[in-house]
Structure 1
Amino acid sequence: MAENIKMLPREKVFRDPIHNYIHVQHQVILDLINTKEFQRLRRIKQLGTSSFTFQGAEHSRFTHCMGVYEITRQICDNFQRNYPSKKPGDGLWNDDERLVALCAALLHDVGHGAYSHTFEHIFNTDHEMWTQKIITSKETEINQVLRQVSEDFPEKVASVIAHTYPNPQVVQMISSQIDADRMDYLLRDAYFTGTKYGMFDLTRILRVMRPYKGGIAFDNDGMHAVEDYVLCRFQMYQQIYFHPVSRGMEVVLTKLLQRAKDLFEHNHMRDFEMPSLLVPFFEDKVTIDDYLLLDDGILNTYFTLWQSYPDEILKDLSYRFLSRKPFKSSEYDNKTKHFLPELAQIVENAGFDKKYYTATNSSFDLPYDVYNPNSNKSRTQIEIMQDDGSLIELSTVSRLVNALTGKILGDQRFYFPKSMLLKQTDDLFNNYYLEFQKHIHNDKIVM
């Protein structure tokens, strides 16, 4: 069936602090923005618990998805203006691919759950899988809008998210080591956290991007802008995304949800207001409707109610999360890892259930990697196009990027209640405090 591509009679724009204007020219894009599934993203924070550390980080998945759409639109414009296909198979840009690229960019995060990654870890959900379900299910408004283009159009858009779409240029626009998704969240997260680490030259990078048969490459004279992007991404992960306090709040949230799940499984929630919207997740019987009903606000409402719950652990963890009382942490390594069971037991002896009041949290990132066909999650490497049209992988011509290539960077931290670092009037507790302190020095667990 031929695709029905309807243009708006007049371009619509949305004001945006990162891109100034977000330009919408297709009716289907405007219709997708107005679906209930996409509007739900307004109620999910882009950075989850990071707003407890960086108070400006209140921006949503909605604004990020709009930004990814806008960057993708600019890439398509550049490709059509400078590299239009002259004949089939020439490796240049076929503008017939524009609409599927724009829709995939806009919808790439529509499957994110409440508090995003923390929720995924507890309930074993996968936002990319849910994104594809939401796009392809005939129950959703998004699917109904996409089918107005053609009956198979939802499957085409979902295949971009699944990385199975046949045109690698479209896939790499949305998902690669330098794509519209990453470029928007680095700039947007830097802006809203009030930091400068993510401020690379987007205009220059878009200018030097070019299509080729195997995907997307970058002109040789734009290599330094690409270098800057890789370094910015590295800095954002180390300074923002891996911040110990944000992770401390994430641990509290994780333990809070785990306690609620455990109480439900042992029938201890029958005498209190049942968290009905969470029951499908507790029972692992989640429909699309169940999934889409949850957002950050719904969880926060349950946490507010649980502050009056008779279970002391659930009550305390709810209070800690809503009142910003993060767990403290100390870094450990392979030499000091064997102390963790002992430290967890000291925390328990001091009056805290170690299952809910201690945790390990590892945050590592690979700033840049080269293609490895044997890897389970091989990454699309960044290709630099030489003047003669040949391609060369970025780290072979950039000393800066080479220094980061293949190096997994981050840390491992042991989390525990802040009171384990504070002397108390209680002599018995102070004995545990002193025992605990033997292994904690300058934010690290030591021998």
Structure 2
Amino acid sequence: MSERIYRDPVHNIIRLRTDNDEGALIMHLIDTPEFQRLRRIKQLGLGLYTYQGAEHSRFTHSLGAFHLMSRVLDRLGEMHRIDKQDRAAARAAALLHDVGHGSFSHVMEKVLGFHHEKWTVEVLLSEETEVGQRLRAHSADLPAKVAAIIEGKFQPAALAQLVSSQLDVDRMDYLLRDSLMTGAKYGIYDLEWIINALAIDEEHDRIYVAARGLYAVEEYLQARYYMFRQVYFHRALRSAEAVLRSILRRALALLENNKPVWHASGTAFEKVLRRKSLTITEHLEVDDSDVMFHVKQWQRSDDAVLADLSRRFVTRRLFKAIDLDMPVDERPDFLAAARACVAKAGYDPEYYFIEDRASDVPYYNYYTPKDAEPKSRIYVEDGYARPRIREISEVSDVVRGLQRGYELHRVCFPAEVKDEVYRLYHDATPRDRSAVGHANANGG
């Protein structure tokens, strides 16, 4: 038997048999330049600014998602007939779901306005990429099938749900992986029991969880909630993102006004800085190292703002942050006063006073069936004697509690003015609330 073995910190051993057409396809996809590029894209972006162990890449996460898809399909195949070509498409989709991700994509997407999902589909469908060529060589319609699964448009829909839903192999892997690599234990849940409890509701073409798996799924959803609160929305991580956004916005503004900004001439990243459209080949040329290299060079920029922000970023002198727990109608006065305080200290508030709202980022911290399409909802078997399949919030008090969620509203500013801003915050809030705000300001 011919096989590859990947040692993985989450799943231990990932085995890939390569002595059949499907296994050979996956092997060739892993070896493509487009997939290997994911080694140079960090899974948590700037997460290592908060959690020093968060050095893992989207390559390792994608392999993990593929491994889980293989395991889930094996389990479902014991109870249901799964078409061979659909199985190949689902495994490829799990492997390639992040192949279009850009460098620090959640930061870059906010600044530049593009979305990695679009690039992923283009990588799959393009005749110029080796990924597209490998998929097409296996089957002429495979690129479109894989793209449809990732976009959640595939039929049968149950297979698409395994890649794109609120209970999919992407989330199953990244919760465990991010929890392990950051050292934060909030993302741990009973993966084995969830896989064991998965089944297909063939009448309605959807994935559901057998009654015995309800508590494991509740635990999974709580793990996701806590990971967003404690890791993905951590003050220091979000502060690092705020500084990087300010750096990129400053560089773009200078170039738009014909001011000199050093850049590697003739590169794809130059086109990024000039807001020019990229070809798929150019998009795939950019990775984390391009951004970091330019920021390091900008420490010596003639522009004082760009140089200062870049030095702060490289040396991790991040902005301080305050979570605004005051009533919404009281916030404008405080924000105006704090912004004026930053300006009085000689810092341009456009780049040194950043409002951060969790609702502005492409993450969802809780389960929201009203906003979700039916295909992305989680369904569970309710009852043992006369079971029926229901949407999970109809049977789970835990999930109904998670639906309330929360909204994060935070301001980030230079540490040099923290005492003045803290004083303004305390003056604007009653003592019982200001104590919370001050505690929230001191992290990172």
Using the size of structure 2 for normalisation, the TM-score is: 0.89
CA distance in 2, matches of 1:195, 1:436: 30
Q: Which runs of 5+ in 2 are unaligned?
A: 18-22, 439-444
- How far apart are the structure 2 equivalents of 1:126 and 1:24? 31
Shift of 1:56: 0.4
Q: How does 1:29-48 map to 2 (within 5 A)?
A: 29-48=26-45
C-alpha contact (below 8 Å) 1:147/1:154 kept by paired residues? yes
Partner of 2:414: 417
Q: What is the distance in 2 between the residues matched to 1:389 and 1:153? A: 37
1:169 CA displacement: 1.3
* Cα separation, 2, equivalents of 1:80 and 1:316: 57
C-alpha deviation, 1:96, in angstroms: 3.8
Q: How far has the Cα of 1:336 moved from its partner?
A: 2.9
- The corresponding residue for 1:245 is 236
Of residues 260, 277, 292, the one that matches 1:269 is: 260
Task: Report the CA distance between 1:433 and its aligned residue.
Answer: 8.6
1:187 aligned partner:
176
Q: How far did residue 183 of structure 1 move? A: 0.5
* Contact 1:421 1:437 (C-alpha < 8 Å) held by counterparts: no
Kindly indicate whether the alpha-carbon contact (under 8 Å) linking 2:224 and 2:365 is maintained by their aligned counterparts in 1. no
Q: Do the aligned partners of 2:380 and 2:391 also contact (CA within 8 Å) in 1? A: yes
SS in 2 for 1:178: coil
Q: Does 2:115 align with 1:120?
A: no
Aligned residue pairs: how many?
A: 418
Please give the per-residue CA displacement for 1:342-380, whole angstroms capped at 9, x wherever unaligned: 21122011100010001111114441122x4xx486672
Provide Cα deviations, 1:371-403, integer angstroms capped at 9, x if missing partner.
x4xx48667221112444521222222222221
2:281 equivalent to 1:284: no
One-letter code aligned to 1:285: S
2:309 & 2:315 partners in 1: Cα distance?
10
Residues 254 and 393 (structure 1), Cα distance of their counterparts in 2 relative to 1, 3 Å cut: same
Cα offset, 1:155, TM superposition: 1.2
Structure 2 partner of 1:78: 75
Where does residue 350 of structure 1 map in the other structure?
345
Distance 2:224 2:372 in 1: 23
When residues 389 and 100 of structure 1 are mapped into structure 2, their CA distance, relative to the original with a 3 A threshold, is: farther
Partner amino acid for 1:260? Answer: A
Q: Do structure 1's residue 335 and structure 2's residue 329 form an aligned pair? A: yes
Please give the alpha-carbon distance, in whole angstroms, between the structure 1 residues aligned to 2:312 and 2:354: 15
**Which stretch shifts more, 196-205 or 271-280?**
271-280
* Partners of 1:329 and 1:443 within 8 A in 2: no
Aligned to 2:307: 315
SS of 1:330 mapped into structure 2: strand
Q: Which amino acid aligns with 2:348?
A: D
Corresponding residue SS for 1:361: strand
Question: CA RMSD of the aligned region, Å?
Answer: 2.2
Contact 2:381 2:388 in 1 (8 A): yes
Report if the CA contact (8 A) 2:337-2:424 is conserved: no
Task: Give the Cα–Cα distance (whole angstroms) in 1 for the partners of residues 136 and 261 of structure 2.
Answer: 43
2:377 pairs with 1:359: no
> 1: distance between equivalents of 2:249 and 2:180?
33
Structure 2 CA distance for aligned equivalents of residues 150 and 433 of structure 1: 61
Residue equivalent to 2:6: 14
Q: Please, which of 115, 130, 133 is the counterpart of residue 141 of structure 1?
A: 130
Which has more helix, going by share of residues? Answer: 2
TM-score (structure 1 length as normaliser): 0.88
Residue 99 (structure 1) aligned with residue 97 (structure 2): no
Query: What residue number does 2:143 align with?
Result: 154
1:202-250 CA distance string (max 9 Å, x none) = 1110000001222100110111111111111111111111111110111
Output the CA distance in 2 between the equivalents of 1:27 and 1:194. Answer: 35
Structure 1: distance between partners of 2:176 and 2:111: 29
Deviation at 1:279, TM superposition (A): 2.5
Contact persistence 2:102–2:286 (CA under 8 A): yes
- Structure 1 residue 275 displacement after superposition: 8.1
Secondary structure of residue in 1 paired with 2:301: coil
User: Does the aligned pair in 2 maintain the 1:84–1:95 contact within 8 Å?
Assistant: no
Stretch moving more, 177-186 or 163-172: 163-172
Measure how far apart 1:23 and its partner are. Answer: 2.0
Task: Give the aligned residue type for 1:84.
Answer: H
